Amino acid sequence: MYDLIEQARSVIAGRILVQPKVGLILGSGLGDLADDLEQAVVIPYADIPGFHAPKVPGHRGELAIGLMADQPVAALRGRFHFYEGYSMQEVTFPVRVLKALGCDTLIVTNAAGGLRPDWQVGDMMRISDQIFLPGMAGYHPLRGENDDRLGPRFPGVVGAFDHELVSLSREVAAAQGTTLREGVYCMLAGPA
């Protein structure tokens, strides 16, 4: 996998104007956010080794890299999912490529269902913790032979949710007059 990550990194690095520090995964309905990037370079997933075309409507299948509020950002416009038949290694591949490009912060967005009857469709929720149910059944991106060049066999997850970004998300939501829910995200295999 390391060699394929390097191939993808090389293709992307040869086309971009800025080196990204922040990675954004733009889920359903948020792909247009990348339209606001300055000095943007847009690369179709079809041009990037190891990337697949998303099958979900509204997921464009593009990587946009540029400046957002003077910060170098790489925005994945759409993703491919485990429930579409891709392996966990394939699904997590773009995140590994973002890391190889220099992204040390990752902001993930998505549309998801919920169990709280008092919440409404369209409510925004910041994830306070996560439960990865497919991993408990053996479907895990860390399964298989480990390549130390990609990180330790069992990476720590303490601090996975950056306290400064958590505080910032609360401040921005309050300043915008937006209710920001907080809850635990449970990833299921899907598609149900």
Q: Angle at the Cα of 187 (from 183 to 190), degrees rounded to 5? A: 135
Residues 133, 157 share a domain: yes
pLDDT at 192: 65
In terms of DSSP H, where are the helices of 14-162?
Answer: 88-101, 133-136
Q: What is the pTM of this model?
A: 0.91
Task: Give the residue from 72, 90, 109 where a domain finishes.
Answer: 109
For the chain, 192 residues long, give each residue's pLDDT as a single digit of tens.
999 999 999 999 999 989 999 999 998 778 888 999 999 999 999 999 999 988 877 778 999 999 999 999 999 998 888 888 999 999 999 999 999 999 999 999 988 889 999 999 989 999 999 999 998 888 888 888 999 999 998 988 888 899 999 999 999 999 999 999 999 999 988 776
What is the side-by-side order of every strand in the sheet holding 22-26?
Answer: 38-44, 62-68, 71-77, 22-26, 105-108
> Which sign does the torsion angle of CA 83, 181, 57, 44 carry?
negative
Name the residue range of residue 16's domain.
1-109
**22-26 and 105-108 strand pairing:** parallel
Task: Give the residue from 109, 138, 161 where a domain finishes.
Answer: 109
The phi, psi pair for 122, rounded to 5°, reads 100, -10
Containing 172, the helix (H) or strand (E) segment is: helix 163-176
pLDDT at 30: 81
Residues 117, 94 share a domain: no
pLDDT at 125: 94
Task: Give the residue from 46, 77, 109 where a domain finishes.
Answer: 109
